[in-house]
Chain A
C-alpha cells in the first residue's frame, strides 16, 4: 500500500513555477497577500532607540519606519559569530554567494540582535531581504509582509516643464542616523554634484516633506564647493549635538545639528584622508575613560580616531603634506576587510568582514 502511495507521490512533486527534471511540470504560484511594505530594495538602515528600524528603499526613494513587532523579540540576545555568512544566507535565499550583496548591518538597541539587509540577485530579479542573527548565531528571515510601517518619500528634484518629460535623475541614500527624534538622511544624486542632508521629524507625517540643507566643504584656501556627505554619525560636543560626517572628497568634518535647520552648512574639516578612500561606517565608543571614533574604509582598513579634540581642534587651515592631515589616528591592523560594522556593547563591535572564503560576521573587541 505504501509503495503505491510513494509511487503516486513520486510523480507529483510540483513546486510553484518549477519544473521537475527531467519530466517538466509546472504548478501555480500562490500569491502572497501584500500587507507589509512593498520594498523594492533595501539599503542603509538604522535603529531608533526603541527598536524601530528605519530602512531606506533606495530604488523607490522611500524611507520606511518598520515596527518589527513580535519578530523583533525572542531568540537568544546578542549576535554570535557566523563564519561564511554570505554562503549561508545565499543557501537560505535559494541562490549562491556571488549573487548576495549585504547592504547594511544594524544592531537592535535592546535585543542586540544583528539585522542584515541583503539584496539577492544582481539583475531584473533582484529581491530585498531582511535577516536577523541572534546570540546563538541563528539566521532568521524577517517576514516583511507582516511588519507594520510608516514611510516617507524623498522628494525628487523637479524636472523642468510639466510636459511629461522623462526624469532620469535619481537619489541614492548613502547613510541614515536617528538622533533627538529626527531621522537624518544623506544621499547622492546621479546628476548634479550636490548634497542635501535631509531631516525628517519622527513620527512621519504625510504633510512633512522633510527639510533639506545644502552641504558645502570649505577647503584651506577658503574655496567652497558643494560636497555630498557619504557617511556620518551624530555626536555631542560640549553638550551641543553635532554631526561628524565624511564627504565623498574624504575630509572628516563636523557641524552642529541646529545648523541643519538653515539652507546651507559649511562643515569644519577636522581630519583629511588621501585619495581613493571611502569611509564605510563609523561607530563611537569609550575605552579606559577616553572616547574614540572607529571608522572602516574601503581601502585604508579601520581607523581609530580619538574624539577628545573634536571640539577644540581648529579647522585644518595649514597645508598638510603628510599622507593625512589634522587629527591623528591609528590604523587597526587586526581588523581587515571590514565592510559593515556597528556597536554591539561597551566592549565589542559587530563586523562583517571579507576573508578569502567569503563574508563572516563576528564580534570583535573594541581596540
Chain B
C-alpha cells in the first residue's frame, strides 16, 4: 500500500505492532460473495521504502478476490489521525490458460486381463491436480453395475513425477487368496465376464479444469495368473550388425507397462568389462513386447538383456517368484539375463 505519509509510516514502524494490532490496522481477507471472510489471511507486515507491505504466508490464489481494509483507528501513536477507513477489493491475476487435459490411455491395454489383476494405470496428456483419483474412477460389471470395494481406498495419490500417470491398485485383500476380504467377497473380477473402467470428466487437472471428455474402456476377464514369470519363454529378435534396427523382446502375455519402461537394459558382454548400451525404449501396444533402438549402430558381438527383479506382470508376479508363493527366501535376487548375439 503506497501513498501514506512518511511520518505516519515511521510511527507505524516504530510501534513494533503485534500480529493482532497489525491485522486491525491492515486486514486482508478472502472475498466470499463480495464480503470479507471473518478470519483474515495470515502473513507478515512490513514498512519499507514508503510502502506498507503485507506478504501472505502462501501466495494469493490465482483468480481469487480479496478484501483489503485499512482502519486508521487502529494506527498507533496518532498516525493516520482523522483519516477515513479504506476498503478495496483486489484480485490475483487468473492462472494462465492451458489446454484441457485428456486421458491418453488406460493400461493394461487389454483387451483381456487376468482375474487377479492388481494394478492399472491411467495416463493423461498433461499434469493433473491433487484431488484423490479414486473419486473419479469407477469399475462396472458387464451389466453396468458398480463393482463394490474393488479398488484400494488410498489417501495418497500414486502419481509419477509430473502427475501425468495415475496408478490404480485393486484391493489386495480381495485379490490375495485365503485372507478375510477374499474369503468373504471373492475377487472383484470373475473369469469369463467383462468389466469397464470409467474415468469421470470432472476429474480436475492441475489448473482445476475438467478433462476434455469422460473415458471408458471395457475388458474381458481371463483366468487368474498365479505363476512366476520366466525369461525362458521370452523371444528375442536380434537385429543385424551395423544397423540401428530395433531389438525386439516378445513376452507370451502382457507385463506391467510402467515397470517395462525402466526394468530392462541392454548390456554388451565384453571380456574387458560389460557395458550398458545407450538407446531408447518403447513398449509395444498390449505390453507383450519391448523394443530398444540403440543410439549408435549395433556392433557384432554377444549381448544380454538385463532384467531388474522388480519387473512384474499386472498381477504382481515376478521372475522366479509368483505374487503368492510358499517360499520367498530369495528376496531380491540378481538381475536376470537373457543372452543374444549380433552378427
Contacts and interface: CB of A to CB of B under 8 A. Distances in A.
B60 A94 contact: yes
Interface residues of A, number: 104
A219 B130 contact: no
A216 interface: yes
A192 B331 CA distance: 14
Given A94-B30, A124-B206, A170-B161, A6 B264 contact: no
Contacts of B66: 15, 18, 94
Given A275-B184, A299-B153, A20 B88 contact: yes
Q: Name, among A5, A10, A96, A124, the residue most crowded by chain B CB atoms within 10 Å (CB to CB).
A: A124
Contacts of B259: 191-192
Contacts of B183: 319, 321
Interface in B5-46: 5, 28-30, 32, 37-42
Contacts of B157: 172
Contacts of A109: none
Contacts of A272: 179-180
A197 to B, nearest CB: 13
Given A123-B204, A141-B57, A278-B154, A18 B42 contact: no
A239 interface: no
Contacts of A11: 3
Interface stretch (B77-85, B191-199, B210-218, B231-239): B77-85
Contact of B83 (A6, A17, A275, A280): A6
B208 interface: yes
Given A224-B326, A250-B180, A275-B149, A9 B173 contact: no
- Chain A interface SS verdict (over half): loop
B154 A19 contact: no
A263 B332 CA distance: 9
B131 interface: yes
Interface bin, chain B:
35 or more
A160 B173 contact: no
Contact of B306 (A13, A160, A224): A160
A272 to B, nearest CB: 4
Contacts of A143: 57
Nearest to A94: B41
Nearest to A271: B180
A4 B216 CA distance: 64
A20 B131 contact: no
A109 B335 CA distance: 46
Contact of B310 (A3, A43, A194): A194
A343 to B, nearest CB: 21
Name which of A11, A249, A319 has the most chain B CB atoms within 10 A of its CB.
Answer: A249
Given A92-B42, A161-B266, A225 B324 contact: yes
Given A93-B58, A324-B180, A17 B92 contact: yes
B70 A9 contact: yes
B29 A219 contact: no
Given A91-B40, A263-B332, A274-B180, A193 B323 contact: yes
B90 A249 contact: no
B305 to A, nearest CB: 10
A121 to B, nearest CB: 7
Interface in A203-241: 214, 216-217, 219-227
A222 B266 CA distance: 37
A194 B66 CA distance: 46
Contacts of A274: 180-181, 184-185
Contacts of B179: 217, 219-220, 249-251, 272
Interface string B143-161: 0000011001111111111
Interface stretch (A64-72, A125-133, A357-365): A125-133
B41 A14 contact: no
Interface string A134-161: 0000000101000000000000011111
Interface in A263-279: 263-264, 272-278
A13 B207 CA distance: 28
Interface string B161-190: 100010101011110111111011100000
Given A162-B276, A163-B278, A275-B173, A122 B129 contact: yes
Nearest to A223: B324
A8 B93 CA distance: 24
A303 interface: no
A95 B61 contact: yes
Given A94-B66, A125-B61, 13 more contacts: A10-B86, A90-B30, A93-B42, A94-B30, A96-B32, A125-B62, A159-B262, A249-B176, A251-B179, A251-B180, A263-B332, A278-B152, A298-B153
Nearest first, the 8 A-B pairs at minimum CB distance are A275-B181, A276-B149, A249-B173, A12-B3, A91-B39, A190-B158, A160-B265, A168-B160
25 contacts: A5-B3, A5-B5, A13-B90, A15-B28, A90-B30, A94-B58, A119-B130, A122-B131, A157-B310, A163-B280, A165-B262, A168-B165, A169-B262, A170-B158, A173-B156, A190-B165, A191-B258, A194-B310, A223-B324, A224-B326, A225-B176, A248-B171, A274-B184, A274-B185, A275-B173
